[in-house]
Amino acid sequence: MTTSIDAQYEQYLNAGLTLDLTRGKPCSDQLDLSCALEDMIGGNFKTTDGIDARNYGGLLGIPEARALGGTLLDVDPKYIMAGGNSSLTLMYQFLVWRLKAWQANNPSQTFKFICVVPGYDRHFTICEHLGIEMLSVGFDNAGPNMTEIEALVRQDQNIKGIWCVPKHSNPTGHTYSEATVKRLANLPNLASKDFVLMWDNAYAAHDLDPQTMPLSNIMAHAQDAETADQIALFASTSKITFAGAGLAFCGLSEPMLKGFETFLTPQMIGFDKVNQLRHARLLKDPNDIARHMTAHRAILAPKFKRVQEKLTPLAETDLATWSQPGGGYFVSLDLKTASATAVIALANAAGVKLTPAGATFPYGRDPEDKNIRIAPSFPDMMELDQALDVLVCCIVKASESGH
């Protein structure tokens, strides 16, 4: 017998939809907010310290770009490297550097990382690519499960690091509490002496709700705990200006910054300083950043609100729970039964692309097959509505067929 949900699904199948909720990409209206970048040079390539940005040199970046990175990462610019367009590249390079040091001390070991789950798939891909084994640890409301993490690093000296997305975590939208940030700053004292805490603050300025709890300053806590050499901060303007042509930043203690600079030196003479100059002139001070992010919020907040509205029937029928992020780019949806693979396959067949099941877990394996990451930023409102309708229909259909 055909149920009404089957009939509805059949309609979607025949509608020829091509919708995409996979990646957290800014939409064109958001990219348009930064078109003034194009006018920021106007024939003046001189940086504040009198350097011609068109020329070679300056691996740490121009002073005004380092200041922008300092604002985003809440540290003194002297701790900042302003890089190219991708913080992911800086994270990868940083880990290659650390891995070489771990291997030099212990050539035959397999090294391990703690991954907070659900988490950012590309962090996991970096670990896989570098042969770093991953251990999953879950969240509670204040952030990662610290008791479990502390126990793990105490037991195993081959655990060399942890990935953290501390503000508007990808995909859950958590902001870590002050108590969690303090415990994390102290974590290296419990762990192997060359442990690194990868603090990917990709959504530092990306509040959907202006009242969002501020993030406690991990470097300040690390200075108190004497662990600053083991904290690596990252951010970028990928979700502030142009996702493919922004600026990335790394924040390290002075000795670590020097070491990382030395490691990068054989690979390059310097990053794109002209782009650094453009960005630093567009986003001169914290007020510019705040204004710019308010304009992003005006575009993004209605989309996130729509996700909450469209998912509501799933709560009424107890089919799923989901996060209510105060910022960032994602909503994390947890199905009540192990059916994420089935739901995503149904949605794909109906022309709605979703991030593959398991992508938010190391090795692409969600042990419960329940998590789906929703990225509402890129589609327009009509496409988003349609895609969410299809998703909800697929969840109901999967549950009716016994998943």
Specify the stretch interacting with ligand PLP by CB under 6 A; choose among 47-55, 80-88, 210-218, 333-341.
Answer: 80-88
CA distances from 241 to 98, 185, 276, 296 (A): 30, 30, 12, 10
Specify the stretch interacting with ligand PLP by CB under 6 A; choose among 81-89, 151-159, 179-187, 382-390.
Answer: 81-89
Residue closer to ligand PLP, measured from CB, 177 or 238: 238
Question: What's the sign of the alpha-carbon dihedral 239, 241, 246, 247?
Answer: negative
CA distances from 260 to 60, 96, 161, 180, 252 (A): 10, 10, 17, 27, 9
170 in contact with ligand PLP (CB under 6 A): yes
Residue closer to ligand PLP, measured from CB, 116 or 165: 165
Q: Choose among 137, 128, 192: nearest CA to 169.
A: 137
Per-residue mark of binding to ligand PLP, 86-125 (x: CB under 6 A): xxx-------------------------------x-----
Q: What is residue 350's three-state secondary structure?
A: coil
Q: What is the Cα–Cα distance from 320 to 338, expressed in whole angstroms?
A: 11
Question: What's the sign of the alpha-carbon dihedral 28, 34, 40, 42?
Answer: positive
Residue that the structure tokens 């907040």 belong to: 301
CB of 208 to ligand PLP, least distance (A): 15
CB of 46 to ligand PLP, least distance (A): 27
Residue closer to ligand PLP, measured from CB, 333 or 346: 333
236 in contact with ligand PLP (CB under 6 A): yes
248 in contact with ligand PLP (CB under 6 A): yes
**316 Cβ partners below 8 Å, 6+ apart?**
none
CB of 202 to ligand PLP, least distance (A): 4
CB of 200 to ligand PLP, least distance (A): 5
Total residues contacting ligand PLP by CB under 6 A comes to 12
* H helix intervals, 131-272: 146-155, 178-186, 218-225, 254-264
Per-residue mark of binding to ligand PLP, 182-201 (x: CB under 6 A): ------------------x-
CB of 17 to ligand PLP, least distance (A): 24
114 forms beta bridges with: 135, 162
Residue closer to ligand PLP, measured from CB, 121 or 383: 121
Specify whether the CB–CB gap between 78 and 254 falls below 8 A. Answer: yes
CB of 86 to ligand PLP, least distance (A): 4
**Peptide bond between residue 188 and the one before it cis (omega within 30 degrees of 0):** no
Q: Which of 238, 276, 332, 371 binds ligand PLP (CB under 6 A)?
A: 238
Residue closer to ligand PLP, measured from CB, 240 or 347: 240
Specify the stretch interacting with ligand PLP by CB under 6 A; choose among 84-92, 216-224, 290-298, 377-385.
Answer: 84-92
CB of 273 to ligand PLP, least distance (A): 18
Specify whether the CB–CB gap between 170 and 239 falls below 8 A. Answer: no
Specify whether the CB–CB gap between 124 and 116 falls below 8 A. Answer: no
Q: Choose among 280, 223, 285, 238: nearest CA to 71.
A: 285
CA distances from 62 to 37, 253, 275 (A): 17, 18, 10
24 in contact with ligand PLP (CB under 6 A): yes
Write out the binding residues for ligand PLP, residues 268-307 only, by CB under 6 A: none
Question: What's the sign of the alpha-carbon dihedral 386, 391, 393, 394?
Answer: positive
CB of 176 to ligand PLP, least distance (A): 13
Per-residue mark of binding to ligand PLP, 126-145 (x: CB under 6 A): --------------------
Residues in the site for ligand PLP, rule: CB under 6 A?
Answer: 24, 86-88, 120, 165, 170, 200, 202, 236, 238, 248
